[in-house]
Amino acid sequence: MIVDVALPIPVGRSFSYGVPGELVPYVFELARVLVPFRYRQTAGVVVALREGKDQRLKSIEGVLDFFPLFPDELPELLLWSSSFYVTPAGLVFKHALPSAGDMERFLTVEAAGRADMDGLPVRKAIRRYGRARLLQLHKDGLIDLRETLTGKTFSPSVPAPLRPDGIERGKVLLIDSVEERLAYYNGIIPDHLERGGNVLILVPDYYAAGAWFARRLKETWGPRVLWFSSGTPVKQRMETWFKSRREGGNIVLGNKSCVFLPLSDLSLLIVERCDDDEYKNEEGFKFNAVRVAVERARLREASIVLGCAACSIDALHLARTGGFEVNCNEWPACTGYAERTTNVPSLSTGGTIDLISTEAGEAARQGSRVAIYTPRKDQGFYLKCHACRETLACPGCGEPLGYDRGSGNLSCPSCGARLPYEGTCPQCGSNAIGFSRIGALFIEEQLRRTHPHLSVTRITGDSLKKEIAAVRAPRQGDGAILVGTQSLSKLYSLPVDKLLLAGWEELRKIGGYRSEERMHQLLLNLLDALAPRSIISYSTRKEPADPRDYLHISSFAERELKKRREAQFPPFVRVFLLEARARTAARADATLKKVRKVISDAGLEDALLGTLPLERPPYHIRRLILKGDEGLLKDVFEELHDIPGVDIEADPTSF
């Protein structure tokens, strides 16, 4: 027998191996097998079997699965994901199952007729008797496997029952405040649990928004609420995996990887905060969990709800073209945020800091809680001379220099150069140097210096896990000041009195074609989570962006959809980002040449927007962007992946 095996590596094709006679009875399609690859042993998934022998082929070295573990719609979903996101199947399959080691850690052997084996942990039994021997005993019905976390027999998934006639499977896009979304979810969940179905709820993170939803759902549903997330301990994660693959009536919460969880009888899918970029997986298999969830609901004929406080342009377009019911409540207008929003002009970054410090300090001393948002988490961004108005630039490539607080040096984000910081402007000699764009760390340090007796906490993606418990603790005495990035929008049940926006409109420069959408989403998510009594936006621009222009959800969505349609940008077309990467410029250019040849041979040159060189030491990168329909790279993505140093990303969040 010969098997084709998909390996978890960025190579387009599968690899053929021979199957030793003693392992032939245990090999099946979609089984995980151990194979030799490049002087090491690795696990892959069997994607095809065929009769015959080929002495030139290496042989598989073991079979990891006792029976098929991919239930119902999951194999079709994985193959669709591989095609839709132009990713080799081996990388996709890796996301669908926990490692064999994690499973075997919580399995024991049941062998009534063999005292030497009965009750033995599976991993120990494999070491003592060999994996092939256990496979044979299990196939002959002489042993069973028991799950230590549930106490039940580990066996193949039971096929989900057919959907009863007359049961309507709903598809809803719900745009509303968080309390209204939660009430809606709790209103539809009972119908699915009572029929024995499982409910899968995707949340964008584990520690903040996810933990809040879990706590609120447990208040209603108790132990039926389970977690499956990379942020949970492996024991808790595997208990959810074992339980939900065989039983119905559960509510399973998890982050983006949970969209591939092999649930028994998946009846309802809820994607909470479907506008969040955290649903985009950025490593290895680059997929959007929201789009995958919609496809899984279609394949399973399950109900699906996409919930958010702010409009997601992609989700709205998908809903309109996919037959969803769109329920949009203009909740920011109903709560009067337009009347409670103030724009404050400032002549300079330093002036903005002074205004923020005065406003936040005075409010905190009066016992209020203040949140300060800024787009950047670090000390600051570009350094600028306030005397001659020139930005400090790299002498090598001319790009603006940043400041590395740890070393006290200047650094170039483009070419990687590092220069000593002299404290003076090389153009005019002035020492009036300051940040042209401020970050959360810089604001925090300024506030601690000017208000040493007040509580100041920085909330960014890096510090959220550490600080979340502290900021939720009951306040005593004076107020508190929170300084942070978009992570502030995850702090539900933590209302603030004032929300200060410092550089909010900089998202126009760093958001790419989605800049306006990101400003809208960020603002509304901050309001949704923090429920501030007033909002103050600070700007140094002559024509500042007015937050009030982003509060009306429907009109904003229509304006944005019109612009995207006229420009032929997503979601009306698909975009594919190709990167040719190497450690030398010559090799990067050679790789780019191979990529261009594949594109030319396939007749795709009309879809090519252009080439962008990028230096990220130690790598030299050449980027290509192609626009087209869904199947643009369908016939060539495997060939492109076979070129060493090539990475493909479908539907990048920004370009």
Q: What is the tens place of the pLDDT at every residue in 582-603? A: 999 999 999 999 999 999 999 9
Among 201-205, 236-240, 402-406, the least confident range:
402-406
CA separation (Å) from 627 to 290, 609, 637, 655? 21, 7, 14, 11
Q: What is the mean pLDDT of residues 431-451?
A: 78
What's the pLDDT at 484? 93
CB 544 within 8 A of CB 193: no
What's the pLDDT at 166? 47
CA separation (Å) from 125 to 131, 144, 222? 8, 12, 37
Residue with structure tokens 């084709």? Answer: 4
The band of 348, judged by pLDDT with boundaries at 50, 70 and 90, is confident
Convert the pLDDT of each residue in 151-181 to its tens digit: 999 998 877 666 554 456 899 999 999 999 9
Across the strands, what pairs with 288? 280
- What angle in degrees, to the nearest 10, is found between the helix axes of 313-321 and 553-567? 80
The H or E element that residue 578 is part of is strand 574-582
Q: Which of 599, 587, 585 is nearest to 628 (CA)?
A: 599
The band of 410, judged by pLDDT with boundaries at 50, 70 and 90, is confident
Residue 41, helix vs strand vs coil: strand
What's the pLDDT at 390? 75
Strand arrangement of the beta sheet that strand 171-175 belongs to: 225-228, 251-254, 198-202, 266-272, 303-308, 171-175, 325-328
Q: How many CB atoms lie within 10 A of CB 509?
A: 10
Q: Are strands 144-147 and 107-110 parallel, antiparallel or unpaired?
A: antiparallel
Q: How many CB atoms lie within 10 A of CB 193?
A: 18
Q: Which of 557, 467, 593 is nearest to 175 (CA)?
A: 557
Residue with structure tokens 């002299």? Answer: 422
Residue 463, helix vs strand vs coil: coil
Q: Are strands 608-616 and 498-502 parallel, antiparallel or unpaired?
A: unpaired
What's the pLDDT at 127? 94
Angstrom distance (rounded) from CA 523 to CA 518:
8
Type of residue found at 479: G
Convert the pLDDT of each residue in 14-59 to its tens digit: 999 999 999 999 999 999 999 999 889 999 999 999 999 998 999 9
Residues 6+ apart with CB under 8 A from 132: 22, 23, 26, 62, 63
Among 107-121, 338-352, 555-569, the least confident range:
338-352
What's the pLDDT at 394? 79
The rounded percent of the chain whose pLDDT value lies above 90 is: 68
What's the pLDDT at 477? 58
Phi, psi dihedrals of residue 364, rounded to the nearest 5°: -65, -40
The band of 381, judged by pLDDT with boundaries at 50, 70 and 90, is low
pLDDT higher than threshold 80 for residue 417: no
Q: What is the mean pLDDT of residues 450-460?
A: 90
Burial profile 413-436: b = 16 or more Cβ within 10 angstroms, e = fewer: ebeebeeebeeebeeeeeeebbbb
Please state, rounded to an integer, the average pLDDT across all residues of the chain: 89
Phi, psi dihedrals of residue 411, rounded to the nearest 5°: -135, 145
What's the pLDDT at 165? 47
Q: What is the mean pLDDT of residues 140-146?
A: 94
pLDDT higher than threshold 80 for residue 526: yes
Q: What is the mean pLDDT of residues 431-435?
A: 64
What's the pLDDT at 438? 75
Convert the pLDDT of each residue in 614-638 to its tens digit: 877 788 999 999 999 999 999 998 8
Query: Which pairs with CB-CB distance under 8 Å and at least 24 residues apart come from 635-640?
Result: 635/602, 636/598, 636/599, 636/602, 636/604, 637/12, 637/86, 638/12, 638/13, 638/88, 639/12, 639/598, 640/12, 640/86, 640/578, 640/595, 640/598
CA 17-19-21 angle, to 5 degrees, is: 160
Angstrom distance (rounded) from CA 185 to CA 201:
10
Among 216-225, 283-292, 456-465, 583-592, the least confident range:
456-465
Residues 6+ apart with CB under 8 A from 40: none
What's the pLDDT at 491? 92
Angstrom distance (rounded) from CA 359 to CA 348:
17
Convert the pLDDT of each residue in 235-253 to its tens digit: 999 999 999 998 899 999 9
Phi, psi dihedrals of residue 588, rounded to the nearest 5°: -65, -40
Convert the pLDDT of each residue in 57-88 to its tens digit: 999 999 999 999 987 789 999 999 999 999 99
CB 250 within 8 A of CB 224: yes
